[in-house]
Structure 1
Amino acid sequence: MSEIEIPEDHPRYQSLLTRHRIEEGVNRGITSKQGLIAEGRGEAFDYLLGERTIESADAAERAAAAQLLLADHPVLSVNGNVAALVAPEIVDLAEAVDADIEINLFNRTAERMEAIAAHLRDHGAENVKGLTADGRIPNLSHERAKVDADGIGAADVVLVPLEDGDRAEALGEMGKTEIVIDLNPLSRSAQVAAIPIVDNIIRAIPNITDHARELRTADHDQLAEIVAAFDPEAALAAAEAAIREGELA
């Protein structure tokens, strides 16, 4: 089924569209088969959130935009699911906050790296990092330790959507400010993030971009105030409460 064949008035349109993109990502060698499982897990949390951006998530997305605009060297990390779901949106966000885009994979092969890079370029990315892998994240023994020295290796702020917890912890130990998008507020990734965003990535990335464009003319002090006012513990608690209550829209 193509995206065109899914009627937009279908009550499960966004969910079906997301599943289709992940499935197509697997077929194109962009997404690993494990990505199918990860998507299903996230969808369960999103269903309990009412498949909507809750107030605390929107506040986190605004803080994320401010943090990216404040950064000296922001980097948007991309894995297979991110590329399959929001490639054009990632490119838009990178342009809005002047960030690098870097591919980082747990199941890393040269073929997957090249396929994702080509997919990002097809959607307007001009300089995709991650292929050089001349840097390393300390204390990681798997393939996600491989980074570009002038990308994630040199970044001060890293957006790590759909993250696994050990790399999130390792990046934090390197002194990097992390923005995490994760539908599970109890995950290690969300728990260690400076700005945890408990939202579906298909909503979160465009929302961050919209906030960034709105804040583009704000001065340093205004942006810093937005970041300082954000409370990650309160945001996680609000998301957990919404999921446990399961008040479906």
Structure 2
Amino acid sequence: MSLIPKSHPRAKSLLIREKLVLGFEQGLVAREGLLAHGRGEAFDYLLGEKTNKAAKQAIKAAAAQILLAKLPIISINGNIAALCPKEIINLAKISGAKVEVNLFYANEKRKKNIIKILKKNGANEILGINPNFSTTLSGLDSARRIVDKNGIFAADVVIVPLEDGDRTMALRKAGKIVITFDLNPLSRTSQTANITIIDNVIRAVELLSITCKKLSKNNKNTLEKIVKNFNNKKNLSDNIIEIRNNLTRRSRFA
């Protein structure tokens, strides 16, 4: 990676970009994944590049929902493997979730590179890599329709970081509870998921792990109450208002 001074006002953002570029060079990230990150980064600017109150509430609801799940699955793509593999594996271990590699721009070489980085960061079991356990998720035409029959296909809760709207819709139609990270509160993914965490995935995954660990001490009734009291439509609305307020404040100094 290139040397980025800690004093640089955009240091964190630039480091994330460097991780993605390195991930591309290592064969983890698709070219299109670089473009997708840029779109998300634009919304992060509008949200103030911080985990706001609404995101923290969504993270709490997500943690409770994961802990209530019988078979929670974390879906892994190239961007996640490049940005926060260690944090994702840590989340899986703390929450009891399993991980499954599922790619839109799929090829065996990239999948093997992702598996390698996940194992390097502590993954013991990785689903979605054995063709003998492959099956099809209805409602999709992309490569993401191929899922593991012991993973996403059987899951009751699917955590989909950096998601696309088509698969979120297909998962919902299949009766899955979908938790997603998406910086755009207007996207189909955000609007379709059960719980949308409007936050940078690097910030949010670590906080989700901490929250899962904290809530694991609670009983089922308490966890169910947390989920019941969460309203995703209000969550999305609150984030849109946050963007509006940030723009209003900045316009005063323009």
Q: Smaller-chain TM-score range?
A: over 0.9
Instruction: Give the partner amino acid of 2:21.
Output: E
| Mapped partners of 2:70, 2:218: distance in 1 | 16
Instruction: Give the partner amino acid of 1:240.
Output: I
Say whether 1:18 aligns with 2:16. yes
Equivalent position SS for 1:185: coil
Residue number in structure 2 paired with 1:98: 96
| Mapped partners of 2:220, 2:7: distance in 1 | 43
| Mapped partners of 1:111, 1:244: distance in 2 | 43
Q: How does 1:25-174 map to 2 (within 5 A)?
A: 25-133=23-131, 134-174=134-174
Matched residue pairs, number?
Answer: 247
- The alpha-carbon deviation at position 135 of structure 1 amounts to 1.4
Say whether 1:193 aligns with 2:193. yes
Residue number in structure 1 paired with 2:222: 222
| Mapped partners of 1:12, 1:166: distance in 2 | 33
- The alpha-carbon deviation at position 221 of structure 1 amounts to 0.5
- Structure 2: runs of 5+ lacking an equivalent: none
Of 124-133 and 181-190, more deviation after overlay is shown by 124-133
Q: What TM-score results when the alignment is normalised by the length of structure 1?
A: 0.96
Q: After the TM superposition, which segments of 4 or more aligned residues of structure 1 sit over 2 Å from their partners?
A: 5-10, 244-249
Equivalent position SS for 2:36: helix
Equivalent position SS for 1:107: coil
Percent of aligned positions that are identical = 45
Instruction: Give the partner amino acid of 1:206.
Output: E
- The alpha-carbon deviation at position 165 of structure 1 amounts to 0.3
Backbone CA RMSD of aligned residues: 1.2
Equivalent position SS for 1:179: strand
Residue number in structure 2 paired with 1:183: 183
| Mapped partners of 2:167, 2:6: distance in 1 | 37
- Greater gyration radius: 2
- Structure 1: runs of 5+ lacking an equivalent: none
Residue number in structure 2 paired with 1:238: 238
Instruction: Give the partner amino acid of 2:216.
Output: R
- The alpha-carbon deviation at position 245 of structure 1 amounts to 2.8
Equivalent position SS for 1:154: coil
